[in-house]
Each structure stands twice: as C-alpha cells, then as structure tokens.
Amino acid sequence: MQNLIDGRTISQQIHAETAQRVAALKARGIAPGLVFIRVGEDPASQVYVGMKEKKSAELGIHSVTKVLPETTSQADLLRLIDGFNADPQWHGILVQAPLPKHIDQATVYAHVSPAKDVDGFHPVNVGKLMLGDPTGFVSCTPAGVHELLIRSQVRLDGAEVVVLGRGNIVGKPMASILIQKGRHANCTVTVVHSATRDVKSHCQRADILIAAMGVPEFLRADMIKPGAVVIDVGVNRIKDSTAKSGTRLVGDVAFAEVQPKAGLITPNPGGVGPMTIAMLLANTARAAELAVAR
C-alpha cells in the first residue's frame, strides 16, 4: 500500500551508512567492537541476540556474546561488565533483557559505562536526552521511530503528537526526543497512559500517534483523525486457533481498520522492529568514533 512506512527499507539505508562509517574507522586502524551479554536461555533473547550478531558481522563490527547461567549472581554480572568497561577494544556493551528476577535491571544498566551504553539506558544518557544534550546515546527504539518519521518526510515542527505509553524504553524517551527545541523536533507532545481519563479524545486531535502501550490492537480507527501518521511499536502475542503455534503476534494498532484512514502507517512486522537494530549498530559506530576523538 502507498501509505506504508517501510522500516525494512529505511533500516537498510541506515545500515549502509553505518557500514561506510565502520570502513572509515577500519581504514584508520580502529575496529569497532560490540559485546552482547545474555543471562539465561530465554528463547526470544537468543533470537534477538543472534539477529544482532549477524547484522554486526555484515557491517564489519566485531562482536562477542557472553552467555551466563540463569543462576549468575548480580555481583558476578557487574564484575563482567567492569572488565568490558575497562577494555578499550570494546566500544559498545549491550545487556539483553529480560534478566533473571534476582538481578535488578536498573542497577545493571547503570553499571555500563555511559560511553559504551549503545542501548541508551544509562541514567547519564537518559539525562542528556532530557536536557537536549546531543553527546549522549539515545535509546534505540525511539531513535528508530524518529528516523522513520524524518526519512518519511513527516513534518514534525509544530506537530501534535500523542505517545501512547509512558515506559522508560520507548514512551518517555520518545516524548523527550520530539519535544526538544531544534531541527526534526519542536512537537507538542501528549503522553497518555493507563490513568489517562479520555485517551480517545487526545488521540483524535493528533497529527502523529506513536503506540507503545503493550496492549494488543488498542488503537482503533475511531481514535484517529483522517490523515494522521501512525507508528506501531507494540509486540504482543495473542491466541489464534488458526495459527500452527496457537498464537500470533500483533501490534498495539488494529492495523486492518486503521490503515485505510491513516495518512502514513507502519506495518507490524516490518515497521519499527528493523530500526531498533539499525540504531544499535549506528550507536556502536558512533561510540567508536567518539573513543577515537577522546
């Protein structure tokens, strides 16, 4: 359909740019390095890390994956991170979520050096984003959504944006990106959430809607105005007796009914998902560039 925002195509554009940056670094004798740390054998985490490893290799980024037992203590995990923080051959460190329940995720993310926090989760980088300081790393999924909007030539200056969801990974940083005073921002942003009194009325006035609530097919056609841009960040597994596995994945947007009314819309899959890896590897290249500059 003509109104689809093709995340796969746009992510390939970014990968091509990252590959050029990596090649330029290697020409100067710098090999960008990325560490993946996975605790336990969560099947989804295995898939996600495998995809990131494969794309890293394609772009010329050297990566290594450390897999720790589910029973690993928080102290042992932090010690492992300390080693990679101190080793100059590694420019990016990613600790794959979810972590076992006995490990505090916030503590782990805060332990990664801000200079190697290519996931953009360290409090220093979160703070820099809020302050409009461009020297930090931005969380990959909201950064990817931002690139989708920019490269799809969506007008952001002065746009009314509704972000559905106030999570630390997408909702809050997404609002922070778009509310900044500067190029490709200057939006008026409303964040709606589970305690918002009338979500529908907020959504109906939006030029751009970004759904990141984690509620299957929450955003319906009667909630958007004609021509609105709709970005679906959600990944939800629901029951489906017609599927071989008995389940299927859907987004936070009821795509079939919203798509005819939207001006532009991301498919799901094939919209936001590919952008997250693209921004992770772009951040890794930037981390290597910044390390050289220091």
Model confidence over 260-289: pLDDT tens digits?
999 999 999 899 999 999 999 999 999 999
- Which of the residues in the chain have pLDDT under 50? none
Model confidence over 217-236: pLDDT tens digits?
999 999 999 999 999 999 88
Q: Spot the catalytic one: 52, 55, 172, 261.
A: 52
Strand ranges (E), 105-263:
160-164, 188-192, 208-211, 229-232, 236-239, 247-250
Contact (CB, 8 A) for 164 and 212: yes
pLDDT at 66: 97
- CB contact set of 68 (below 8 Å; sequence gap of 6+): 37, 38, 39, 40, 76, 77, 80
Q: Spot the catalytic one: 55, 117, 119, 172.
A: 119
pTM of the shown model: 0.96
CB-side exposure of 103: number of CA atoms within 13 Å? 25
pLDDT at 240: 85
Q: Spot the catalytic one: 55, 96, 116, 252.
A: 96
Q: 28-124 and 140-274 share one CATH topology?
A: yes
Q: Cα(130)–Cα(119) distance, rounded to whole angstroms?
A: 16
Tell me which residue of 41, 169, 165 sits closest to 99, measured CA to CA. Answer: 41
Please tell me the class of the 140-274 domain: alpha beta
Contact (CB, 8 A) for 66 and 80: yes
Q: Domain 28-124 falls in which CATH fold?
A: Rossmann fold (3.40.50)
Q: Please state, as a whole number, how many other Cβ atoms lie within 10 Å of the Cβ of residue 246.
A: 9
Q: Cα(61)–Cα(63) distance, rounded to whole angstroms?
A: 6
pLDDT at 1: 60
SS3 207: coil
96 is catalytic: yes
- For the chain, domain boundaries: 28-124, 140-274
